[in-house]
Amino acid sequence: MRDFPSCFGENGVQVADSSSSNTSKNAQNLVTCVYQCRIRGRSCLITVTWSKNLMGQGLSVGIDDSANQCLCKVDIKPWLFSKRKGSKSLEAYSCKIDIYWDLSSAKFGSGPEPLEGFYVGVVADKQMVLLLGDMRKEAYKKTGATPVPSTAVYVAKKEHVFGKKVFGTKAQFCDNGQIHDLIIECDTIGVNDPCLIIRLDGKTLMQVKRLRWKFRGNHTILVDGMAVEVYWDVHNWLFGASLGNAVFMFKTFLAAEEKLWVSQPIPNPSTLQWSFSQRFQDSKSQNLGFSLILYAWKNE
């Protein structure tokens, strides 16, 4: 199932649904972030995908309407990433949209996302619709956009993480919220009774024992005073291919939607990973809080 905007086609960068691939050969080192924005008063979704492979870093920016229909996109493929700064003009909602990027001084960690020294800006009608990175002054100077407060809201993130028994990432559970160190730990090699542990900033928030019986499930944790529902599916780690992946979803709620979301039953186990994708789509289209989906691949 292709559960990201359809504009990321065959030649673009896209997240493979974990249910369709069972080995790390199909895993891509990428991070995809979705922002809810407004262009000419109309709601849209801007999807920014950072990728990394043997040919280098890659960047893709797509703009979709509220129904997840692609309006326009720009792809900077890894083998062309030597052009670390530039711009491209697109058109949507009957107006010109300019996408600017400068990654010439960007610093990267082990993942595909830059840590600092960069900007990516989306400008429409001389308004900065979305601005990412720490080089804000340089971005406004280059784009000539009016420096007004952005109304962009960070609504979703997908990421592939890799490890042997420890998988880590940075997690931000609400727009402009605190950035946390999120650790998932699970040793399944030579262990009779594996245990799943999730830590936030070094503090254990949940522990699942007898994992062979509880390889799929959900649990509520509290983060920054918010309820965060954690869904997990580690079937592939325990019973699938040796290089299979697990999938985790961390879901926050808007107060008005929490009861509706939590009341939805967990579906048949055979369709659970599809359910993660569908719930992610619902989060984007209905603005049901923030969703973080992690595909965890074991390096043997």
Average pLDDT over residues 158-183: 90
Question: From CA 138, how far away is CA 135, in angstroms rounded?
Answer: 5
Q: Does residue 167 sit in the same domain as residue 294?
A: yes
Which residues share a beta bridge with 122?
A: 99, 130
Q: Does residue 120 sit in the same domain as residue 198?
A: no
Counted domains in the chain: 2
Residue 96, domain extent:
18-151
Question: From CA 270, how far away is CA 253, in angstroms rounded?
Answer: 25
Q: Does residue 126 sit in the same domain as residue 38?
A: yes
**Range with lowest mean pLDDT among 54-63, 241-250, 279-288:** 279-288
Would the pLDDT of 115 be above 70? Answer: yes
Q: Does residue 183 sit in the same domain as residue 201?
A: yes
Would the pLDDT of 6 be above 50? Answer: no
Structural domain contains residue 82: yes
Q: Does residue 235 sit in the same domain as residue 139?
A: no
Structural domain contains residue 135: yes
pLDDT of residue 117: 96
Among residues of the chain, what percentage have pLDDT more than 90?
48
Q: Does residue 230 sit in the same domain as residue 110?
A: no
Query: Model pTM greater than 0.85?
Result: no
Tokens of 5: 């905007």
Structural domain contains residue 10: no
Structural domain contains residue 294: yes
Structural domain contains residue 178: yes
Instruction: Output b/e per residue, 259-269; b: 16+ Cβ within 10 A.
Output: eebeeeeeeee
| Domain endpoint, select from 151, 175, 203 | 151
